[in-house]
Homo-oligomer: A and B are copies of this chain.
Amino acid sequence: MDSGPVPTRPTGGSAAVASSSSSLIFLGTGCSGALPDARCLIQPSEPPCTVCSTALSLPPDRNPNYRCNTSLLVDYCHDDGAHRYILIDVGKTFREQVLRWFVHHEVPSIDSVILTHEHADAVLGLDDLWVALPSCQRNGSAKVPVFLTQFTMDSVAARFPNLVEQKLQGGDDFARPAQLHWTIIEGDVDKPFVASELQFWPLPVMHGEDYVCLGFLFGRKARVAYLSDVSRILPRTEHGRPFHSSIRSIYSDSRQLI
């Protein structure tokens, strides 16, 4: 089931009485096509798939068979009690995830974005990212950073030219249609970066036989390794320097859990 935060954010309270601790909100734990698989519903087998045929029968927050694209929201509570929201991946179902889980957990907006790779289930919701930007960002006073590798950047720029800074024809001026700050990271386990004052170590892993996807190691009190799309862990990643201290590992790829 999506959105089982660890630890759970209190529900039903107002933003003014938000938790004083950090938490993880699983916005999605589904496969690339998400669940239910529409094919099981419009062209059902005999007998019908029990997972997908029951997926529309309960509200998503009580339904383990309704899962959006894999995505994690890190609710990072700073020492001063202020919350910062760091979004990992913006897949095809992002808008639905905002409607379901941002509203449920009273998340007002995001402060940083991190992309694991450039497949559709990780980036195709970028066109809707603006709905979750802080209102001051939408008015142009600041930009939300998006951390990604150069390989992912090239793919995103081809798919979403409207979201990327572009040189205007015949001049030195740039069009800046979106309030995003695209920030290239190296994707190396020894090259951490900081998003919303929280340090992240990239964890490059194999996704299939010839494609590298990033996971991330983060956390101050508890350390969490988040690997969303992985078929094999590289030795350099597994034995890298960041892992010399204790780690709490969470594999969010539901294909390995279910």
Contact = CB atoms under 8 A, between A and B. Distances in A.
Interface of A: 33-34, 36-39, 41-43, 56, 92-93, 95-96, 98-99, 102-103, 106-109, 120, 124, 127-128, 131-132, 135, 158-159
B132 A102 contact: no
A119 B4 CA distance: 34
Given A39-B135, A158-B158, 11 more contacts: A33-B131, A34-B95, A36-B99, A38-B128, A39-B131, A42-B106, A42-B109, A43-B108, A56-B99, A93-B95, A120-B127
A1 to B, nearest CB: 17
Contacts of A99: 36, 38, 41, 56
A92 B33 contact: no
Number of copies: 2
A37 to B, nearest CB: 7
Given A93-B95, A120-B127, A56 B159 contact: no
A39 B108 CA distance: 9
Contact of A107 (B42, B56, B96, B127): B42
A42 B103 contact: yes
Given A36-B99, A95-B34, A99-B56, A135 B43 contact: yes
30 contacts: A33-B128, A33-B131, A34-B95, A37-B131, A38-B98, A38-B102, A38-B103, A38-B128, A38-B131, A39-B135, A41-B99, A41-B103, A42-B98, A42-B106, A42-B107, A42-B109, A42-B131, A42-B132, A56-B99, A56-B103, A92-B95, A92-B127, A92-B128, A93-B95, A120-B127, A124-B124, A124-B127, A158-B158, A158-B159, A159-B159
Secondary structure at the A interface, as helix, strand, loop or mixed, is helix
A27 to B, nearest CB: 13
A135 B96 CA distance: 27
Contact of A43 (B37, B96, B109, B124): B109
Contacts of A131: 33, 37-39, 42
A38 B159 CA distance: 23
A38 B101 CA distance: 11
Contacts of A108: 42-43
Nearest to A138: B39
Contacts of A37: 131
